[in-house]
Amino acid sequence: MNVLAFAGRNLKELVRDPAALLILVVLPVGLLLMLGTIGRNVRITAFEIESLAPGLAVFSLAFVAMFAGTLLAGDRASSFLSRVTASPLTTTGLLVAYAVPLVGLGLVQGVACFVTALFMGLAPSVNLLLALVVLVPAAVMFVGIGLLLGSALTASQVGAAASGLITFATFVGGYWMDLAVLGDGFAAVARALPFALAAEAARAAAAGDVAGIGVPLAGCVGYAVATFALAVVVFRRRSRA
């Protein structure tokens, strides 16, 4: 079994539950509609559509991480993955095959957020395409976290851990609030984490601020490589245990 064939199988697993996929897309769009409406009514800067849309596009990726962890942990619990690991497919290739359709799902969420934002007053621009490109390393990073959870935990444990991840990312990502409200110390730590870096890069891209993309994007890429590499190491060790 090669990487593309296994990625195709994982894609089929994703589309097998259209209700779950619908929730993954509808939830961030629903949040965007609700918070964007509040922003128009009370003039909260963090809720302005130009800032809110790329922030929620990044936030939605946290749910993909949960999906990734649940899928991998479920396969680990079955005999299917045991047969796959006995094939010539390497551990890295195996996790890449999981990641490809999941990253694609993350980009679908991003498209849904930006299209919705256009109807809420976001100015159409080619910069939105750049923002989607910037979302790719963020998607890889979140999927890497999900695969790490799926490699280390059981399917039932992944749900609780992923919920904690979503809650943590909500507070430190600055997706719909100014991180300054956390205080100088906590805000400085939050800005160094991948969740806020990904949101900062996406916002800079959507605004056409090319100079502002580099540093946060580089940090996000570094986190993406590290989390995915760690997932490979943990999965390999758990498979040998």
Q: 12-31: per-residue pLDDT in tens?
A: 877 777 777 777 888 889 99
The number of beta carbons lying within 10 Å of the beta carbon of residue 25 is: 18
Q: Is the pLDDT of residue 1 over 60?
A: no
**Count of CB atoms situated within 10 Å of the CB of 138:** 28
> Nearest to residue 47, comparing CAs of 63, 57, 34, 58?
34
With 0.85 as the threshold, say if the pTM is over it: yes
Higher pLDDT, 212 or 83: 212
Query: Among 45, 48, 27, which residue's Cα sits nearest to residue 36?
Result: 48
Burial class (CB in 10 A: 0-12, 13-18, 19+), 57: buried
Q: Over range 203-221, report the average pLDDT.
A: 95
Ranges assigned E (strand) in the chain: none
The pLDDT assigned to 81 comes to: 62
User: What was the pLDDT predicted at 87?
Assistant: 63
State the chain's mean pLDDT as an integer: 88
Q: What is the mean pLDDT of residues 75-84?
A: 68
